[in-house]
A = this chain, B = another copy of it.
Amino acid sequence: MADEKPIREFNLSCPAPRVADDRIVLAHGGGGRLTHQLIEKIFLPAFGNPTLDQRHDGAVLPVNGSRVAFTTDSFVVRPLIFPGGNIGDLAVYGTVNDLAMCGARPLYLSAGFILEEGLEMETLRTVVESMREAAAKANVQLVTGDTKVVDKGKGDGIFVNTSGIGLIESNVKGTIGPASVQVGDAVIISGDLGRHGIAILSVREGLEFESPILSDTASVWPAVEALLNAGIEIHCLRDLTRGGLATTLNEIASDRSVCIRLEETLIPVQETVQSACEILGLDPLYVANEGRFAVFVPETQADATLDVLKKVEVSQGAVRVGKVEETPARTVVLQSRIGGNRVVDMLSGEQLPRIC
């Protein structure tokens, strides 16, 4: 019977390759389309409330008359130690930056460790020491913690969750977040793209470069603080982590029903990072960063914003890369080096698992 079936019909009835939706796959953690589906199908229906629905990097909450920012991140990066950092400083800076993206001064962190039986104590000591240094640099206090141990083969060395509390100070005008993005806004990024993702991947793939590519992991709060102190009217801040610039901008374009138009020639990527991306078949627009953010400001404040950012070490490579337009809505468009336009879509599958 099967032999009689024409090949053509077989092809037609063969479903397109798709991801099973009854089980978790790696791409559910990649920050792209499947992560969003998980949030929309499982988490928001259960927990949906006005704060969570804003889907910002952190929540801004009223606490006894103050505006407090609260955020959480679990870190599962592999390898634990990579060029330019390790899971410890990454976990501190990651959460500090999520608070900064709310316009909040980072104050306090928690640390929750899940350790795998058999982990070398020396590795833990190295990671904890990096957390200490990073917390000191970022001027946050690690005030509460928790440690669990799982059986060998049920974890992967160290997973660490950092949650953080920050304070939105009284000089912050309005709400900083995707909801404040407007047509006409300038889009500025704080520096070159792709270093964190490529630093991780080059270790995993055993790639060696003449000058090693170091992760950009760092606290971006000094840059945000400088913008606030200068009185810049910030509409939105977003760090460019999982899924990179492309995913972040797609989220905002989709939330606000706007078009974000980028110019490829303006987007800074180190030459070694660009070469590595070509070898690995990656697009730097989708590669994770851990010390970079995008800021949306009114067109009239674009130059002032750049002036302020360039004076701060972590954002000295700041550059204006695009603008917010009305149409085509829900789209990120890249005007390419050779003149054409292409749509920069949200990441569908998993580009780089366990990047943070």
CA distance A108 to B72 in the complex (A): 12
User: From residue A102, how far is it (CB to closest CB) to chain B in Å?
Assistant: 10
Answer whether A49 and B112 are a contact pair too, CB < 8 Å, given A61-B107, A150-B354. Answer: no
CA distance A65 to B170 in the complex (A): 14
CB-contact partner of A76 in B65, B114, B120, under 8 A: B114
Per-position binary interface string of chain A over residues 134-171, scored 1 when its CB falls under 8 Å from any chain B CB and 0 otherwise: 01000001111111111101111001010101010000
Of A125-133, A200-208, A247-255, A311-319, the one with at least 4 CB within 8 A of chain B:
A125-133
User: From residue A47, how far is it (CB to closest CB) to chain B in Å?
Assistant: 4
Give the copy number: 2
Listed A/B pairs (26) with beta-carbon separation below 8 Å: A27-B149, A28-B115, A29-B147, A29-B149, A38-B147, A47-B111, A47-B131, A47-B142, A51-B144, A52-B142, A52-B145, A59-B143, A61-B108, A64-B64, A64-B65, A64-B68, A66-B66, A68-B68, A70-B108, A72-B145, A74-B114, A74-B148, A76-B114, A112-B163, A151-B156, A155-B155
Answer whether A151 and B353 are a contact pair too, CB < 8 Å, given A58-B144, A110-B71, A112-B161. Answer: yes
Q: In the assembled complex, which residues on chain B have CB atoms less than 8 Å from the CB atom of A71? A: 110, 144
Q: In the assembled complex, which residues on chain B have CB atoms less than 8 Å from the CB atom of A82? A: none
B-contacting residues of A (Cβ < 8 Å)? Answer: 21-30, 35, 38-39, 42-43, 46-47, 49, 51-52, 58-59, 61, 63-66, 68, 70-76, 107-108, 110-122, 124-125, 128-129, 131-132, 135, 141-151, 153-156, 159, 161, 163, 165, 167, 353-354, 356
CA distance A149 to B135 in the complex (A): 26
Q: In the assembled complex, which residues on chain B have CB atoms less than 8 Å from the CB atom of A42? A: 121, 124-125, 128
B70 touches A143 (CB 8 A): yes
Q: In the assembled complex, which residues on chain B have CB atoms less than 8 Å from the CB atom of A111? A: 47, 72
Q: In the assembled complex, which residues on chain B have CB atoms less than 8 Å from the CB atom of A143? A: 49, 51-52, 59, 61, 70
Q: In the assembled complex, which residues on chain B have CB atoms less than 8 Å from the CB atom of A23? A: 118-121
Q: In the assembled complex, which residues on chain B have CB atoms less than 8 Å from the CB atom of A110? A: 59, 70-72, 163
Answer whether A25 and B163 are a contact pair too, CB < 8 Å, given A47-B135, A70-B143, A144-B52. Answer: no
B47 touches A118 (CB 8 A): no
A24 touches B115 (CB 8 A): yes
CB-contact partner of A161 in B27, B135, B163, under 8 A: B163
Q: In the assembled complex, which residues on chain B have CB atoms less than 8 Å from the CB atom of A119? A: 23-24
A165 touches B61 (CB 8 A): yes
B74 touches A161 (CB 8 A): yes
What residue of chain B has the Cβ atom nearest to residue A165's Cβ? B70
Answer whether A74 and B112 are a contact pair too, CB < 8 Å, given A59-B143, A63-B165. Answer: yes
Q: In the assembled complex, which residues on chain B have CB atoms less than 8 Å from the CB atom of A65? A: 64, 66
Q: In the assembled complex, which residues on chain B have CB atoms less than 8 Å from the CB atom of A116? A: 24
Q: In the assembled complex, which residues on chain B have CB atoms less than 8 Å from the CB atom of A151? A: 26, 156, 353-354
CA distance A120 to B24 in the complex (A): 6
What residue of chain B has the Cβ atom nearest to residue A35's Cβ? B147
User: From residue A19, how far is it (CB to closest CB) to chain B in Å?
Assistant: 11
What residue of chain B has the Cβ atom nearest to residue A25's Cβ? B117
User: From residue A144, how far is it (CB to closest CB) to chain B in Å?
Assistant: 4
Q: In the assembled complex, which residues on chain B have CB atoms less than 8 Å from the CB atom of A154? A: 155-156
B125 touches A68 (CB 8 A): no
CA distance A132 to B49 in the complex (A): 11
